[in-house]
Structure 1
């Protein structure tokens, strides 16, 4: 009988211990809110927390101060659509079929992070720009991959906006509406996707708003001339607008008592819409700002230098909230929850040795709608870029056919019927005063160098010493001193692409991305001289 009592007592103690342990685990996995803020075309280091004086970003700075400022975050693509799909799938663009392209379909078979979160009890929504530009309706989807839209509240008076070209969607007011509709017993995931600082900008708006020319930071691949400085000030004003609404959202969270238990992630989809930045796998095309805070769990005021891919966000979020990616394609990104939960800063995870990026077709910029395929690998010290079609123009063809007379070719630029300057070439660079300046002055000695950096053809292999050449100006691929490093990075990139099933390296059709339908404008271009006459 004593043995029975003893056994019962032991079982009771074990059960109590198990319950206490289970309660602790449940506390660690307590449902947490997530506010994901993503700007449209913002390069590192254009945020105040990085020391940049051109922009005014108190909200980003606050998130960085309360949490972690990342110095080495990279987009999976230098273009918005493939970058955003990589975030939501946790997979690299080359793994996502049409969803790895631009102005294409987003196949229904690619279940995304927000769908899984909704199935696990999260209240979800987005404002502004979701996962775009895709034709998700023709894919059979009933909503944008980022979730249900909250875009109905708009500014009624244009005078409330700081410049022309800025979206009339009142992002923060829509977020407040989202919070008011959230059931009390549910955590939320909200995607705040500003349309800023996407082109076009109101010329002179930055200077008009009080920005100072002497504070402007011009990266080394652009001439430090007044038209470029003015363009960057206009860009910076739109970065400020994105940050302004983020600040209002943070205040709403604080007033609702939700701030302590909300993870705030602030980043951008790709780099700034300037020549040699956006749509390029150079630093200013893929290197983006990133700050993450979670007052309840993350030790703040830390700076982390580990290499982070935005494709790592989905597995990290799943790791934090303790759910599995049921129904999703296999995730390639790697969780960095170990970094978030650490008390350290600097370099934390020694296994993070590289990040990868890619691009295929961006705009309609070449004959037969061809793209400019690139793959890249970025380590702490080096960036290696592989250009698969060096015979093509990287920023688009320098001439196009006259749509009214296909036998005639139009030059790089000219005047339209209204007598205004009109760009007619290099369509893989967004229309911009900086682009115009390079084209109009390309024959001048002080500009020709920068024009060639952005528009001239490129070799198959490019290698840059990022520590000493952050603007990617000196290609070391042909230097004997870097031959070993070049071979090492080429092999590592190829191995990763094969391992992750890149069609450019495995499968029957390496050019499959050229064949996906594009749902946007198609421009006419002359047949290039490297195309066989019978094609």
Structure 2
């Protein structure tokens, strides 16, 4: 009996010894969730963090204050579809064929980084506006087209009862009825399961149209609006800007609800929050233009555990860099994606650096082709732009075309009848959707057109719609409104030469068809799936 006890004790000692001791396995590192938040048409200047006095964005401000604020974020394009294409592919719009062009088709081969996150074990979803407008596959016969939106599987079923305004503080009549926060919460509680998540919150705001005068119900004041130098300063313009602010604040309100919910369930600090916008504000000489207020957008990223917060990065950062950064965060390669052009900036996020950190020769690139249907034979207005620390250089590749669209079109009710020049009828009123249709119809546009005969207003209309020189150069730190073209001036010749060389080099490197061919006009022939307008030949406008 004693012998048996000794054997048992010896076995226990050996089991617990260095060679056989059972040790608790190391816990698997918890991969961070990723919340990607994008508004629709918001310029860089319009957050309270950046100093705006008429736009209040406490949720964005929190992300920027506790995270990293990128003061020089440059969108892939001044238009939504090509810019969003740039985000999810990590490629410039001109590299993505029709899948980089407004209202064309999305080909299967342009795999978004979101697909790769799904393969890596992330639960993915979105609410609101995804990657569009694009035409996706309608049925199985569309063998070349992608079936689902490139922004992920949609969860937008939960909507507001617009008749019940009791819980809709800050709501205006033209705002989307989608309950972005409600859909996010549903995704977390019913779809996510036990996996890390990637979720795309794509607001429809502040895209037009707006409820005119909504600012009056929100307690805003005309004197608070800040009018940019490319628009006249009067009550009509100020009111339009305040209506825009109402929609930006609605977008931010939902972001705030999402952040609070994540905090309540203990997930916020394990969630990388990225907030930006697809392009600039929908006003004349902003959206659909490669000027500062068209391509310079807000961006902030928060992840206190790994990204030291309270920092401002001033270098130009490009949309093509977002995809490789997110992939590196997730520990995932590009997989089935087309070759990625952008470079990860995870090293900046994890550093303690701030200010200018990338060296003097840091650049971001942007470009556009077609925006809306706005010219004869559905032609676009091709632009390519390079942004440095101090300058913005724009190449208007077809300067003979009207940058904001043709000044007149055929009557959609009678396609043999031309509507009046500038869209102004005999009564002196603007006819909706009748001229310069790359500018969204809005009170600011209407005011410029209806007052074009006023000597103090005509210069602002000219800035928005007149033909432009082939090259434009702006010192954006002293001229953020891009009003003084420095191209061709001897004192800026060295800077212009340098930027032109860098721009051309990047366009050649990325095989831009406008530069390297073989078909330099291919962008104008991609099919557009949104409505087509009819315009006269360019020599028959007047």
TM-score relative to the length of structure 1:
0.92
Correspondence for 2:488: 478
CA–CA distance in structure 2, aligned partners of residues 440 and 467 of structure 1: 33
1:146 and 2:168 equivalent?
no
**Aligned with 2:307 (options 285, 298, 321):** 298
1:128-167 correspondence runs (5 A) = 128-138=128-138, 140-160=145-165, 161=168, 162-167=171-176
| Cα distance, 1:442 vs structure 2 | 1.2
CA–CA distance in structure 1, aligned partners of residues 146 and 328 of structure 2: 27
- Structure 1 unmatched ranges of 5 or more: 1-12, 14-18
CA–CA distance in structure 2, aligned partners of residues 340 and 353 of structure 1: 17
- Contact 1:302-1:345 at 8 Å conserved across structures: yes
| Cα distance, 1:460 vs structure 2 | 0.5
- Contact 2:117-2:330 at 8 Å conserved across structures: no
CA–CA distance in structure 1, aligned partners of residues 501 and 540 of structure 2: 28
- Contact 1:423-1:436 at 8 Å conserved across structures: no
Determine helix, strand or coil for the equivalent of 2:347. helix
Correspondence for 1:250: 259
**Aligned with 1:424 (options 426, 434, 438):** 434
1:340 and 2:349 equivalent?
yes
Determine helix, strand or coil for the equivalent of 1:375. strand
Correspondence for 1:95: 95
1:415-454 correspondence runs (5 A) = 421-454=431-464
| Cα distance, 1:140 vs structure 2 | 3.0
Determine helix, strand or coil for the equivalent of 2:181. helix
Determine helix, strand or coil for the equivalent of 2:72. strand
Correspondence for 1:181: 190
- Contact 2:91-2:320 at 8 Å conserved across structures: yes
| Cα distance, 1:408 vs structure 2 | 3.1
Correspondence for 1:390: 399
**Aligned with 2:210 (options 170, 179, 201):** 201
Determine helix, strand or coil for the equivalent of 2:348. helix
- Contact 2:228-2:481 at 8 Å conserved across structures: yes
Cα 1:44/1:150, change in 2 over 3 Å: same
TM-superposition CA deviations, 1:292-314 (whole Å, max 9, x none): 10122111111111211121111
Determine helix, strand or coil for the equivalent of 1:265. strand
1:503 and 2:497 equivalent?
no
- Contact 1:66-1:300 at 8 Å conserved across structures: yes
Correspondence for 1:273: 282
- Contact 1:374-1:385 at 8 Å conserved across structures: yes
CA–CA distance in structure 1, aligned partners of residues 426 and 86 of structure 2: 39
- Contact 1:414-1:423 at 8 Å conserved across structures: no
1:172 and 2:181 equivalent?
yes
Determine helix, strand or coil for the equivalent of 1:168. coil
| Cα distance, 1:404 vs structure 2 | 4.1
- Contact 1:402-1:409 at 8 Å conserved across structures: yes
CA–CA distance in structure 2, aligned partners of residues 416 and 148 of structure 1: 49
TM-superposition CA deviations, 1:149-192 (whole Å, max 9, x none): 10000002344351111000000000000000244431000000
| Matched residues, number | 509
1:518 and 2:528 equivalent?
yes
Q: Superposition RMSD on alpha carbons, in Å?
A: 2.1
- Structure 2 unmatched ranges of 5 or more: 1-17, 139-143
TM-superposition CA deviations, 1:28-79 (whole Å, max 9, x none): xx41100100000000110010111111111001111111111100101000
TM-score relative to the length of structure 2:
0.91
CA–CA distance in structure 2, aligned partners of residues 182 and 141 of structure 1: 22
CA–CA distance in structure 1, aligned partners of residues 208 and 215 of structure 2: 14
- Contact 2:407-2:423 at 8 Å conserved across structures: no
Correspondence for 1:8: none
Correspondence for 2:323: 314
1:224 and 2:233 equivalent?
yes
Determine helix, strand or coil for the equivalent of 2:538. coil
**Aligned with 1:240 (options 230, 237, 249):** 249
| Cα distance, 1:23 vs structure 2 | 6.8
| Cα distance, 1:315 vs structure 2 | 0.6
CA–CA distance in structure 2, aligned partners of residues 23 and 489 of structure 1: 52
TM-superposition CA deviations, 1:234-261 (whole Å, max 9, x none): 0000000000000000111111111111
**Aligned with 1:375 (options 384, 394, 403):** 384
**Aligned with 2:478 (options 465, 468, 492):** 468
